Amino acid sequence: MAKILTIEDDETTAREILDELRQHGFEVDWANDGHDGLNMALNGHYDLITMDRMLPSMDGLTIVSTLRGKQIDTPILMISALSDVDERVDGLRAGGDDYLVKPFASEEMAARVEVLLRRHNRQERQTRLCVAELELDLVARQAVRGDRTLDLLPTEFRLLEYMMRNFGQILTRTMLFESVWGYHFDPGTNIIDVHIGRLRRKVDAPGSPPLIHTVRGSGYMLSERL
Amino acid sequence: MSVSELSRTVAFRLTLFYSLFFTTCVILLLGFVYWQTATEMTRRVDQVLRLEQQRLTALPADQLTDEINDSILRDQRHIYFYGLFAADGQLIEGNVRELPHDIPANGRIYKADMLAANMPSQPLLSHVLLVRLGSGDTLLIGHDAQQLIEFGEVMKRALYWGGSLTILIGLMFGLALSFRPLRRVEQIQQVCELIMGGNIRQRLPLSGHRDELDMLAAIVNRMLDEVERLMSEVKSVGDNIAHDLRTPLTRLRAVLYRLQQQLGDAPAKRAMADQMMSEVDSLLLRFRALLRISEIENLQRRAGFRVIRLKEILEQAVNFIEPVAEDKAIALSMTAEPTEPIHGDGELMFEAIVNILDNAIKFTPTGGRVTVRLLQGAEGAQIDIIDSGTGIKENERAAVLNRFHRGGDDLRPPGYGLGLSIVMAIIKLHDFRFEFGGADPGTRATIFCWPHSV
């Protein structure tokens, strides 16, 4: 079971994060100030840290750079009320792995935690991704399901690649938009749904068991079964 | 600045009025001088005639012919007429051809055309008197009045040229005087247009001469300060509300989400929970858009600006929105001329273009067409997004760009207002200009990608 440290000074927000993560089956510790948080992070062998960007006694950015300076590469999810692009860039440059803007939907936070944990444990250098009978050849840029070659547009290929790399994980629309298109604003409309719909028609042909699933209220998941 | 504009200024009208008034005075003055001079000249001529009459009538009859001859010889300027006529009208001596018939020989002075003996073809206007002598002969003494006529001519010329010149100089002077205030008015007009375009930070220029225009401009500037203060107050209240409500809304959504997960197989309850969830989501979407607008408005103008290529951004945006168009069977196409790279925030430009494209597709009926054009104009790059939808009425085009505005008919899809407000905030941050125009049929949304402030 993964062990997570939450550094957050606002009790309500902390309670939300703790509840949500525990519900997902994680073991969660809570530090409500920067110094304690840094000490716990240095000594506690955590699999992941969620951290407020602005903390009393020590700034979130300082904690991240201190940890990275000590060669501790625990994945860090930065949570901040500052949504400015520059703030995001600063957070990621200091060594954060992902950046979430307050207020956030708890399942969005949980989904990001799951993806970070998964990314940390996997080999990035794969050239071939497989889920059930779906195969993605990253070198030949080719997708095959069973004996059927899928005719994918470049965007669809990137979307499928991201979903396959994170198979079995809930992926929110924002996460898909950020990873596939590289932008950080809220597209606001159902454009992502339309893209998924188009990909789904190609991947899940009638008759074959569906691989792309809609997760009610959250987003999408690629897996053999929901 | 045209002459017709200049001629409508107060300065010009005052100058023109003044020069007309001055010209009238000059005419009156010259007229008075003419009148006085002419009267005096006439009086003198008449006096001379009287003296001549006295001199000649006092002479004995036998010397009269010689004296008339002498007088004619002495008159080297040829301005006197003398004539001694017999009772039957025959000329005895003199330099006139004949006795004027219409003048009675009563010693009074008349004006008449005289024919000189040496110039019979040209009648000369003269002052003439006839006297019956004791011998029965008639004596004519005349004095040429041509000088008076010539003097009148000179006066008329003086009036004509003097008057014309005064009016002409007055006109030019008036135009010159109008030039400066009119240029100030034009500057003020330009600034006002910027302010009306939403650039509320602009202020009217002051010349420092403390003239009436400066006084007006200073009053307007104070008014603008107050308007700006009020606007920012209202806006910050709005932003604070959005900000404060967002956190409880997000928590509400979290609780709903948990409820949704725990409901299990109870279709009726699930449907209710789903509906609640979608309402909360649409609320959150609106608050996020509101906050996004104020976030963009508060961005430091040049902080995130880099050199960006519009063609790439447009291609990405078209590519991103293309499946939505395809779902509605709308033909989405793009043409791009080579354009200069511009200075801007690529992410924000992408957001703006996606928003415009999204709107264009929403308002275009199934089977329609949306065209994206990138053009290089003289001043810079221009992006046209043309749809074949219902179009926006000409009088609604400006209102559509305001926050929260939705088209008049409620049949239009939701989410129209805020998307465009985000677009406007982005365009303003870049100092570009955005406008809606008509296409036939449909709407043309255009971004003019070059700086528009002064």
Q: How large is the ipTM?
A: 0.82
- Do B250 and A104 lie within an 8 Å CB cutoff? yes
Fold agreement (A3-121, A128-222): no
Q: Is the pLDDT of residue B415 over 60?
A: no
Q: Quick one: pLDDT at residue B410? A: 41
- A104–chain B Cβ distance below 8 A for any pair: yes
- A107–chain B Cβ distance below 8 A for any pair: yes
- A194–chain B Cβ distance below 8 A for any pair: yes
What would the pLDDT profile of B71-108 be if each residue is shown by its tens digit?
888 888 888 889 888 888 888 888 888 888 888 888 88
Q: Is the pLDDT of residue A82 over 50?
A: yes
- Do B285 and A86 lie within an 8 Å CB cutoff? no
Q: Which residues of A touch B286 (CB under 8 A)?
A: none
Residue B378 — left, alpha, or beta (φ > 0 → left; ψ -120 to 50 → alpha)?
alpha
- A188–chain B Cβ distance below 8 A for any pair: yes
- A158–chain B Cβ distance below 8 A for any pair: no
- A226–chain B Cβ distance below 8 A for any pair: no
- Do A188 and B323 lie within an 8 Å CB cutoff? no
Q: Quick one: pLDDT at residue B296? A: 79
Q: Is the pLDDT of residue A56 over 70?
A: yes
Mean pLDDT across the stretch B278-287? 82
Class of domain A128-222: mainly alpha
Angstrom distance (rounded) from CA B449 to CA B384: 11
Q: Which residues of B touch A216 (CB under 8 A)?
A: 260, 274
Q: Quick one: pLDDT at residue B411? A: 40
Nearest CA in chain A to B413: A189
**Which residues 6+ apart lie within 8 Å of B152 measured at CB?**
B34, B38
- A184–chain B Cβ distance below 8 A for any pair: yes
Phi, psi dihedrals of residue B432, rounded to the nearest 5°: -90, -175
- B351–chain A Cβ distance below 8 A for any pair: yes
Angstrom distance (rounded) from CA A55 to CA A60: 6
pTM: 0.63
Task: Please tell me the distance in Å from A89's CA to the nearest CA on chain B.
Answer: 11
- B303–chain A Cβ distance below 8 A for any pair: yes
Helix (H) or strand (E) holding A149: strand A148-150
- Do B253 and A105 lie within an 8 Å CB cutoff? yes
Mean pLDDT across the stretch B200-219? 86
Domains in chain B: ranges and CATH:
1-196 (no CATH), 212-298 (1.10.287.130), 306-449 (3.30.565.10)
Q: Quick one: pLDDT at residue B407? A: 42
Q: Is the pLDDT of residue A189 over 70?
A: no
Q: Quick one: pLDDT at residue B412? A: 44
Instruction: List the CATH code of the domain at A3-121.
Output: 3.40.50.2300
Q: Which residue has the higher pLDDT, A95 or B238?
A: A95
Q: Which residues of B touch A181 (CB under 8 A)?
A: 316, 320
Angstrom distance (rounded) from CA B380 to CA B401: 23
Q: Is the pLDDT of residue B1 over 80?
A: no
Task: Please tell me the distance in Å from B257's CA to the nearest CA on chain A.
Answer: 7
- Do A155 and B319 lie within an 8 Å CB cutoff? yes
pLDDT tier at B408, thresholds 50, 70, 90: very low
What would the pLDDT profile of B334-350 be if each residue is shown by its tens digit?
999 999 889 888 888 99
What average pLDDT does the structure give for chain B?
A: 83
- A168–chain B Cβ distance below 8 A for any pair: no
Q: Quick one: pLDDT at residue B375? A: 93
Nearest CA in chain A to B255: A106
- Do A85 and B304 lie within an 8 Å CB cutoff? yes
- Do A198 and B324 lie within an 8 Å CB cutoff? no
Q: Is the pLDDT of residue B363 over 70?
A: yes
pLDDT tier at A83, thresholds 50, 70, 90: low
Angstrom distance (rounded) from CA B342 to CA B349: 11
Task: Give the number of other CB atoms < 10 A from CB of residue B148.
Answer: 18
Distance from chain centroid for Cα B371:
39
- Measure CB to CB from residue B292 to each of A185, A195, A217 and give the nearest one: A185
Q: Where are the domains of chain A?
A: 3-121, 128-222
- Do A16 and B304 lie within an 8 Å CB cutoff? no
Please give the structure tokens belonging to residue B404. Answer: 């929260």
